[in-house]
Amino acid sequence: MKVGKIPENVLKRSVFRQIHTKREEVVLGAGVGEDCAAVKLSEDEMFVISTDPVTGTATDIGHLAIHITLNDLASAGAEPVGVLLTLLLPEDSREEDLKKMMGQIEKVCAQAKVQIMGGHTEVTRAVLQPVINVCGVGKAKTGQLISTSGARPGDDIIATKWIGLEGTSIIAKEKAKELAARYPLGMIQDAQKFDQFLSVLPEAAVAVKSGVSAMHDVTEGGIFGALWELAESSGVGLEIDLKKIPVKQETIEICEFFDINPYELISSGCMLMASKEGTALLRDLEKAGIHASLIGKATKGNDRVLLNQEERRFLEPPKTDELYKVV
C-alpha cells in the first residue's frame, strides 16, 4: 500500500466491514471523516479511559492490542464499552495484512462485547513493523472505581492464573524453530496457545463483586515490576513468597532456554489483587474456574521483600522487559 492515509475504498472494505459488535451506549461511532466517538452514560456512571500501544511484536498484534487495553480497564473495575484504534503500517504492508489485523481485533472485541468506535489507519515510513495504539473506553459506577493505589498494610496479595503467559506465547511463536532443537513439538504448541489466557476480565468481575482493595494487571516488567508498581502506588511494603508465585513449566523451560528471568517477562493474563479477605477472594475465584494463588501480604513501611526459603532479598524498580532480549 502507498504511504499516507488508507484510501476510502480500502478503509470501507478492510476496516469498517470487519466491525460488527455494537453497544447501545455508543451514539457516534466509526465512519468516514468522523474524528470523534460519543458515549452516553447515566448520571451515576463515569467514563474510564486507557490507552496502550503494542510495539514489541508483530505476531498476532491485533489480538494482543485489544486484550492489553481491556485488561487495563478491568483492573480499574470498569466494564469495557469501546475502543479507538490507531494503526500505523510500514510501507511494504498489504491490504490483506490490514484485514487480518482487523479480523483479530474484532474477534476479541466480539468476545468482550466491545465496540470499535473509530480511529485512524495510515501507512508510514516512520515504522518498520505494524504498530497499534488502542484507546479503551469503559464505564464504572460512581464510587466503585478501583485503583492500583488502594492496597493497605495487612492486605493479602493474590496473583491470578500464571505469570509470563504473554511473553511465553510470543517467544514460542517467533522462536519455534530454535526451541524445536531441544523441546518436543507438543510442548511448543501448548506454549503458543497461552494467548487464550490473556484476558483478565473474568477475574476482575469476580474481584469487584467480592470486594478488593486494589488491582493491577501484570504487563511489561513482569510480576516483579507489577509488584513494585503496586507497592509504590499504594505506599506500602511487601512480603512475597517467591515459591507461591504461579508459573507454568513451559514458561520455565523457555526462559531457561533463552537465559531470561520469567519473573521479569511480560505477563498479560495475570492480575495482581490486594484484599483484606484474600482467602474468601481465592474461594470466589476458584468457584468461577479461575486459578489464583495467595503470594504474600502488604506491610507497613517501604521494604519490598522477596522470600525464597531462607533467602531474603529486596525488589528493585521495574527493568526493561526480558522479552526484548529474545525477539
Q: What is the pLDDT of residues 41-75, one digit of tens each?
A: 888 888 888 888 887 777 888 899 999 999 999 99
Q: What is the pLDDT of residues 204-250, one digit of tens each?
A: 999 999 999 999 999 999 999 999 999 999 999 999 999 999 999 99
Q: Where are the beta strands (DSSP E) in 90-187?
A: 115-123, 131-141, 156-160
Per the CB < 8 A criterion, the answer to whether 1 and 10 are in contact is yes
% of the chain with per-residue pLDDT over 90? 76
- The pLDDT assigned to 3 comes to 72
Q: What is the pLDDT of residues 125-168, one digit of tens each?
A: 999 999 999 999 998 888 788 888 999 999 999 999 999 999 99
Instruction: Grade residue 91 by pLDDT with cuts at 50, 70 and 90.
Output: very high
3-state helix, strand, coil in the chain (%, to 5): 40, 25, 35
The region of weakest confidence among 28-32, 35-39, 173-177, 292-296 is 35-39
Q: Which amino acid is at 275?
A: S
In degrees and rounded to multiples of 5, residue 180 shows phi and psi of -65, -15
- The pLDDT assigned to 279 comes to 96
Residue 130's nearest CA partner among 97, 174, 84 is: 97
Q: What is the pLDDT of residues 174-212, one digit of tens each?
A: 999 999 999 999 999 999 999 999 999 999 999 999 999
- The pLDDT assigned to 33 comes to 64
- The pLDDT assigned to 34 comes to 61
| 154 or 318: which leads in pLDDT | 154
Listed in sequence order, the residues at least 6 apart from 234 whose beta carbon sits closer than 8 Å to its beta carbon are: 148, 149, 150, 151, 152, 214, 274, 298
Q: 40 is written with which cell numbers?
A: 452516553
The arithmetic mean of pLDDT across residues 85-106, rounded, is 94
Domains and CATH numbers, the chain: 4-141 (3.30.1330.10), 148-325 (3.90.650.10)
Q: Characterize 201-220 residue by residue with b for buried, 16 or more Cβ atoms within 10 angstroms of its Cβ, and e for exposed.
A: bbbbebbbebebbbbbbbbb
